[in-house]
Structure 1
Amino acid sequence: MNAYVTLLINESYVPGALVLAKALRNNGTKFKLAILLDTSTVSAYSQNLIKELYDDIIEINDDKIFMPVDLVTRKLGRPQLAVTLTKILIWQLVQYKHIIYLDADTVPLKSLDHLFERFASQKPTEVVASPDIGWPDVFNSGFMVIKPDPSVYAFIKNYSEQGEMVSYDGADQGLLNEVFHLQDHEGYNWIRLPFVYNMTPSTLYQNSPAIERFLYDIHLVHFVGAIKPWLYGSQTGTMFHDMWWKIFNDNFLEVDRVKLLSQKPKDGLNLKSSSGSTFTDTTSIASAFSALNVEEAAKVFPWEHRDPVSATRVFDLT
């Protein structure tokens, strides 16, 4: 039995986990959806919504794993990421033969089911993942294909306890890259997927020409960083944030949306877009992006919106 698995360890990521599940369902997955859930930090209301969408709820209240908070704070400035090391629990989920792990701030635009067959012969000591943006040459741990194995879990856990240098960023991505890629651990290996399987729209590389050229190759969008779509509001002027809000608005009742966003911006409740679109294939993606006006959303970054100015000083270099 194969499964998609995500991790939810606080209330603030509930909207993301719900949209992730809806996107997977809309794309027609035939596999189970499972969630590692800290029920002590997620409200009963949110848990009921989660149970409607996820097949397996795996409570991790007493099983969470932390990197040293001071280390994550010093290296990344985000102490809340210390608990993300909990995601290594996926290697313990031996009830599943094969797992596609997804962070709760990801949204698949196409079915990912083919990856289970494509990597059917994958070894437990191998991780399938896309490269992170820019340098260094490492993989992003927000989307991974893995085979559970208790011995691999034990190896990762033991390695994580050997001091500061086990993670270059102080968090799970640094640790997992050290284990599977950067250090010479016999048999441990990173199998590289193209960047379009884990596209991060908030980075320098994702300029408008690249988006225009590779738009319909994108399998998954990953909203990295501290600002998530459900915190940002809907009217951001970027197609991918608007896409997230469309899935949220089309698939959840207004009473649930209001409740989920009661402490967050609510303007996304009024996003106007055609209903009924799923992101199942290139046709539906094209239709959805057409409704969102891709050309108007081509300027992704704040510095791309500056008004043109004339030069104040000219040098003659001849």
Structure 2
Amino acid sequence: MSKNGDKVKVKDRVQDETCDLSLSELGEVPVKEIASFKRVTVLDLSSNRLTTLGRQFPILTRLVRLDLSKNQIRNLPEDFGLLENLRHLDLYNNCLEHLPLSFAQLRRLRYLDLKGNPLKPAWAKIVGPCSTLKDCQEAAKNCVSVCANLKPEFERERLAQASQEREQSADQMPGRGDGSNSAQANGAGPGAKKSTKPNNKKAKLKKLAEAAENDLTFKPVNAVGEGNGAKSVNQRINQRKKSTNSNSWLNMLQKVALSTLVTFLVLVVVNIVLIYMIMFKSPEISGKLLEYIPHQYQDWILTKTDLFRLRVTDWISEFRTPPEEH
């Protein structure tokens, strides 16, 4: 098949919400044709010859499930995070070494398979083995959180570099007139040297950006727990939250248990006092209470209460009489 996939008709590969373009020998992704089908949320591009996804790929913002396994993809687009609805991402057996920082925007991502990629050591530690479903779920969670932590630092460094460049350009502005005069006086030699400076500056900026990216990709090693055994800030915060939550639950349970015990004891004492007052001190109250009880239960209650009263009186009398009379 051709590199652009001219012989592959996307229309024939769309069924309901799924677009299956696997095993099509594609060298480029037909993004515009796929985007024309607004109902497509599942895209399968596995087992092709893709090396890049193209700049326009992030316009497929409706994708929920994306399969890019078994290709030769070396880099993902920098704005790959625009696929904010993505929940399942399969990048098995590609040529990826790192992930873009825009992964921080994929907050709905729940599955990420990066097995079979030559990842850098730092990213390999973050991603993990991806051998089971749980591993892939942890990989998605870790990658999104790490990119979210690294993105502000990268933005700060980029702004610092931009400010330094502005200061350097401002410092060099007054000397440009002298340089042009000296070039006119001494010939084209110095002018030719200065004409190469902008290109050198661009090359230096590229090198600085690449070095910053490499440094940033290796920083999460300490965050994951390697090195001196230090745990990441997120793990510490989660552990503190768990400990505080467990302590609060224990304290609340203790308070509830103590309050229920106190109320139970108070009710028992009140019931004993009421029974004693009604049966021995004011039997008229018990007679009035019996009027509200159905007739079929009154005789049973009277016999039980009489027996109870006799037993209590006998016990009290035995308790009060001295042992000699016994």
Determine which structure has the larger strand proportion and give its number: 1
TM over 0.5: no
Larger Rg: 2
Determine which structure has the larger helix proportion and give its number: 2
Normalising by structure 1, report the TM-score: 0.25
Q: Does 1 or 2 have the higher relative contact order (CA < 8 Å, sep 6+)?
A: 1
